[in-house]
Amino acid sequence: MSAEDLDRALDGVERVLLDSSGLIAFHISTEVTHAIMRHLLGRISDDSDTLRGYYSVASAVEVLIRPIRSSHDEFKFMHEFLTEFPNLFVLPMDLTVATQAAALRASMGLSFTDAVIVASGLLSGCQAIVSNDRRWQQRGAAMFSEFRWIYLDDYV
């Protein structure tokens, strides 16, 4: 599959949730899904494209750990990416998200972090969820057929 296949899978989608693995892969050129994430974030940053990207605060935590451990410059770079990348928005966490995350943990067996990420996307009106976690696609598609569950490795 290819970037064109991903574009077809996202046809008609205007709101896409990006999970932590995709956001990290965008920044690491040796990651298998780096090129496809560059393509996807290129679309998101293009004002003429209707596709917009969203990420959970839980993903922000995961994405910021390594830069915080590494150096102030790496942290500053990643923080600027999370706050200034065009058409990429953070989704807040509140009690509604926490309740949905708890339900997802109970029904899908997701980890705390994964449940918060998925719950954030589901409750914010995202139409597709892009992840490198096949379990999300397998379990989530059966429970939430109205969402497109995109597994990144299928497009490399």
Query: What does the pLDDT read at residue 1?
Result: 62
Do 140 and 147 contact (CB within 8 A), yes or no? yes
Do 55 and 40 contact (CB within 8 A), yes or no? no
Q: Domain locations in the chain?
A: 3-155
Give the model confidence (pLDDT) of 11-52 as tens digits.
999 999 999 999 999 999 999 999 999 999 999 999 999 999
**Taking the complete model, does pTM exceed 0.95, yes or no?**
no
How confident is residue 67, by pLDDT bands cut at 50, 70 and 90? very high
**Topology of 3-155 in CATH?**
Rossmann fold (3.40.50)
Q: Residue 45 and residue 52: Cα distance in Å, rounded?
A: 8
How far from chain centre, in Å, is Cα 37?
Answer: 10
Q: Residue 9 and residue 90: Cα distance in Å, rounded?
A: 23
Give the model confidence (pLDDT) of 107-148 as tens digits.
888 889 989 998 999 999 999 999 887 776 677 777 777 789
Max alpha carbon distance in the chain (Å)?
A: 43
